[in-house]
Amino acid sequence: MNPTQELHELGQSLWLDNITRGILDDGTLKRYIDDDAVTGLTSNPTIFDQAIAKGDDYDHSIEDKADAGLAGEDLFFELALEDLTRAADLFRRIHNRTGGVDGWVSLEVSPLLADDTAGTVAEAARLHEKAQRANLFIKIPGTPAGIPAIEESIFNGVPVNVTLLFSREQYVAAAEAYLRGIERRIAAGRDPQVGSVASLFVSRWDVAVADKAPAELKNRLGIAIAQRTYKAYRDLLASDRWKKLEAAGAQPQRLLWASTGTKDPKASDTLYVEALAAPDTINTMPEKTLLAFAGHGRIGETLPDDGGDAEQVIARFNKAGIDDNALAAQLQQEGKDSFDKSWKELLGRIAQKSAALKGGQ
């Protein structure tokens, strides 16, 4: 049993934070499922931009769709769904076996809708209907405008991966939006089982404070924020409010660790995977991190339900002049801006490829 399989046995789901047509065509994704206990997959605009840029795997599809009159976002979502529906079908057996707890893939709404609640709700419903896959999440950012969109989408029966969460408070807002959506479904006599995960971004905290933190605290802030958030997650699952919904047939919105690739070249390449081992959670990791952990990862102590030393560590960062509340808001805004930039670059790349392929005819 390799380390990824051991982590799976512990009760944590391992998802791949990557999608390319190449890993679908050559069987790599299936091998990860069979050999490394990978049970799900996430994507974002940057991942698709890099996949399309690297070679000609998408050229034929781009050319066909452009010839059919598609362009811009419409063309991209057709490309993305070709990949993600194939991936969803690979994970469907896991999805069925776990009763919908695992075996998910994720597609993000346009990042340009991050401040548009009504537009996000409409787009989430459209994309989920278009995919025709029960195990496809629609990613909605946990921004101020995204929170009501999450509640409404859950009420509408659209499974949601809440993205761009950076703090306990942002997580709690997303979790409460999920609970409200489920409570409204129960009150309306609808099925309370609608899948959701809440994605907390971890490593970006340590990148943000790399030149500000004392040496003894290097690469510790992201893990401390995760510990604090894990306590909030465990407290919610123990609450009377949740137990009432669970008794009615709802499934918990699971906590997902995102941005778990190590950014510091001097740190262990499995730092965040090893530190964030915890049952009933998900770790979605880049391909490089997955392979590193499968090769030499070690599982030590799991995250404590009570948050461990998170508050003491965060207090030390506060004393060093780092305001974690302000930084959480900054990181969420920077994440949104980064996805906006990737989205525009992605659409520009597709337009260039469309024009080049047409010119090549």
- Specify the number of domains making up the chain: 1
Give one word for 189, left, alpha or beta, with left for phi > 0 and alpha for psi -120 to 50.
Answer: left
pTM of the model: 0.96
Distance, C-alpha 281 to centroid of its chain: 12
Mean pLDDT, residues 48-63:
92
- By C-alpha distance, which of 149, 136, 156, 141 is closest to 177? 149
pLDDT computed for residue 360 by the predictor? 60
Active site annotation includes 243: no
**Residue 231: helix, strand or coil by DSSP?**
helix
Give the mean model confidence (pLDDT) for residues 233-252: 98
Choosing from 65, 139, 231, 336, the catalytic residue is 139
CATH number reported for the structural domain that contains residue 102 in this entry: 3.20.20.70
- Which tokens belong to 74? 């419409």
What residues make up the domain containing 210? 3-360
User: What's the DSSP call for residue 261?
Assistant: S
Amino acid found at 109: V
Average pLDDT over residues 323-340: 96
Residue 361: its pLDDT value, please?
54
Q: Is 80 exceeded by the pLDDT of residue 346? A: yes
**Kind and range of the H or E element at 34?**
helix 28-36
- Distance separating alpha carbons of residues 160 and 345, to the nearest angstrom: 25
Beta bridge partners of 15: 40, 284
Contact 199, 284 (CB under 8 A): yes
